[in-house]
């Protein structure tokens, strides 16, 4: 087969497997390499020290696999309908980001990509090597996806597809196959700044720039220590992740909903009782996060986040106050700090 025929075959198989879109990128150094180093030096990665490792691999995809020529890039939607919370729910429950509610996308997409590669091997006469990545390796995924024409990187630094929006999981198969690269698509954000304006913690120093150390998703999922008090109030009722900059995006308002059955399964509800999370025990944590990406945040982090959300809740009842009083004696310093802050500065 010619490179064009192999490319058409790979994309067609990807779509048949359930990916919303697929494209091809060359395995050449990223044009954002200099900015990425500046971003790290500015401390915008917060406590995510792993982003400082394997810089050469992150910035040069060809080094991820000997003889690599192409990257097959795919996207899978996780867009769900949102149900407005009642007044009671706003007082007593915490919100979770859409991406964590279904089955663990790492496992789902890895299996889909491995199946794609096997079907390619069944159809192609030439042998080839490939390596699969789904948010787990030293890969600048959004840059590769943008290079493959899957969308453009929006002002909130997420990949945006004109038809599908930004609620997208990304994955790649770096391969020795010679495939035809796709052309990048034009930036369609225009003058819109809704995502930047809506961020409660001012995590965007400028358009197309994210200070992750201020992002609610980072604070609730990635940051292991105490959350700085300056962000507590702005976190509102988010207990795992944040979707605000996506919720306000015009492209997401008209984007189709996800259809993959494992991704749309309801493993973790849209809202969780905050008091239950604050008192979350080990077995309950395992049942809550089993088979999902929710275990990215440890049990004490879910509880820490719940204490902050409870501190932001209006009209707390006696039971909620008692839960915070208990948490003020907790052995975990991050939970204790959050509970003390929730009850007021006079308790610290």
Per-residue pLDDT averaged across 31-56, rounded? 93
Residue 34 sits in the same domain as residue 166: yes
Of 102, 78, 95, nearest to 18 by C-alpha is 78
Q: Is residue 186 part of a domain?
A: no
pLDDT digit string (tens) for 180-230? 999 999 999 999 999 999 999 999 999 999 999 999 999 999 999 999 999
How many domains are contained in the chain?
2
| Pair 119, 206 in one domain | no
141 & 14 share domain: yes
Name the residue among 115, 107, 168 with its Cα closest to residue 134: 107
**What's the mean pLDDT in 87-112?**
92
Co-location of 230 and 159 in the same domain: no
In a domain? residue 114:
yes
Residue 152 Rama label (left phi>0; alpha psi -120 to 50; beta): beta
Identify the domain containing residue 340 by its residue range: 194-259+268-347
- Measured CA to CA in angstroms, residue 110 lies from 75, 107, 133, 255, 297 at distances of 12, 5, 7, 24, 21
Residue 344 CA to residue 64 CA, distance in Å, equals: 50
Per-residue pLDDT at 324: 94
Q: Give the separation between CA 234 and CA 199, rounded to whole angstroms.
A: 9
> What is the distance between the alpha carbons of residues 72 and 130, in angstroms, rounded to a whole number?
10
On whether both 25 and 60 belong to a single domain, the answer is yes
Is the same domain home to 158 and 255?
A: no
Same domain, 19 and 159: yes
Residues 119, 224, single domain; the answer is no
pLDDT in tens, 167-184: 999 999 999 999 999 999
139 and 42 in one domain?
A: yes
Q: Does residue 91 fall inside a structural domain? A: no
The pLDDT value given to residue 125: 87
Residue 11 sits in the same domain as residue 51: yes
Answer yes or no: is pLDDT of 252 > 50.
yes
Residue 285 lies in a domain: yes
Q: Model pTM?
A: 0.95
Question: For residue 327, is it within any domain?
Answer: yes
Q: Are residues 122 and 21 in the same domain?
A: yes
Q: How far is CA 141 from CA 97, 118, 175, 243, in A?
A: 20, 22, 15, 19
Q: What is the tens place of the pLDDT at every residue in 55-90?
A: 888 889 999 999 999 999 999 999 999 888 777 777
Residue at token pair 């787990």: 136
CA trace torsion 261, 263, 265, 271 (10° rounding): -160
Q: For a pLDDT cut of 90, what percent of the chain falls above it?
A: 88
Residue with the larger pLDDT of the pair 314 and 75: 75
Q: Would 287 be classed as within a structural domain?
A: yes
**Residue-level pLDDT at 317:** 83
pLDDT at 86: 74
Asked whether residue 254 falls in the same domain as residue 209, the answer is yes
The answer to whether residue 135 is catalytic is: yes
Report pLDDT for 117.
98
| In contact, 258 and 79? CB cutoff 8 Å | yes
- Of 135, 187, 276, 332, the active-site residue reads 135
Mean pLDDT of the chain: 95
Q: Is residue 252 part of a domain?
A: yes
């Amino acid at each position: 087969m010619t490179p064009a025929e192999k490319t058409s075959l790979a994309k067609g198989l990807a779509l048949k497997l359930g990916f919303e879109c697929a494209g091809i990128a060359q395995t050449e150094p990223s044009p954002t390499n200099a900015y990425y180093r500046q971003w790290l030096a500015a401390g915008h990665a917060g406590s995510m020290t792993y982003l400082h490792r394997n810089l050469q691999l992150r910035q040069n995809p060809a080094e991820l696999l000997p003889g690599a020529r192409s990257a097959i890039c795919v996207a899978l939607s996780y867009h769900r309908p949102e149900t407005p919370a009642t007044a009671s729910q706003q007082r007593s429950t915490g919100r979770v980001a859409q991406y964590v509610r279904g089955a663990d996308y790492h496992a789902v997409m890895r299996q889909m990509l491995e199946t794609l590669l096997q079907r390619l091997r069944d159809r192609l006469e030439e042998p080839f090597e490939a390596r699969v990545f789904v948010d787990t390796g030293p890969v600048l995924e959004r840059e590769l996806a943008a290079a493959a024409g899957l969308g453009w990187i929006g002002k909130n630094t997420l990949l945006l597809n004109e038809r599908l929006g930004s609620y997208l999981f990304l994955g790649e198969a770096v391969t020795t196959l010679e495939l035809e690269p796709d052309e990048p698509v034009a930036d369609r954000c225009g003058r819109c700044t809704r995502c930047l304006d809506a961020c409660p913690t001012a995590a965007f120093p400028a358009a197309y720039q994210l200070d992750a150390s201020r992002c609610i998703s980072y604070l609730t999922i990635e940051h292991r220590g105490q959350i700085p008090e300056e962000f507590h109030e702005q976190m509102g009722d988010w207990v795992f992740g944040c979707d605000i900059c996506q919720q306000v995006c015009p492209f997401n308002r008209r984007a189709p909903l996800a259809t993959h059955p494992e991704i749309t399964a309801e493993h973790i509800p849209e809202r969780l009782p905050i008091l239950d999370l604050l008192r979350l025990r080990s077995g309950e944590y395992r049942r809550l996060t089993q088979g999902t990406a929710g275990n990215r945040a440890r049990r004490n982090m879910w509880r820490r986040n719940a204490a902050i959300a409870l501190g932001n809740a209006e009209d707390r009842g006696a039971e909620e106050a008692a839960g915070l009083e208990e948490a003020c004696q907790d052995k975990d310093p991050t939970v204790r700090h959050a509970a003390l802050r929730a009850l007021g500065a006079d308790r610290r």
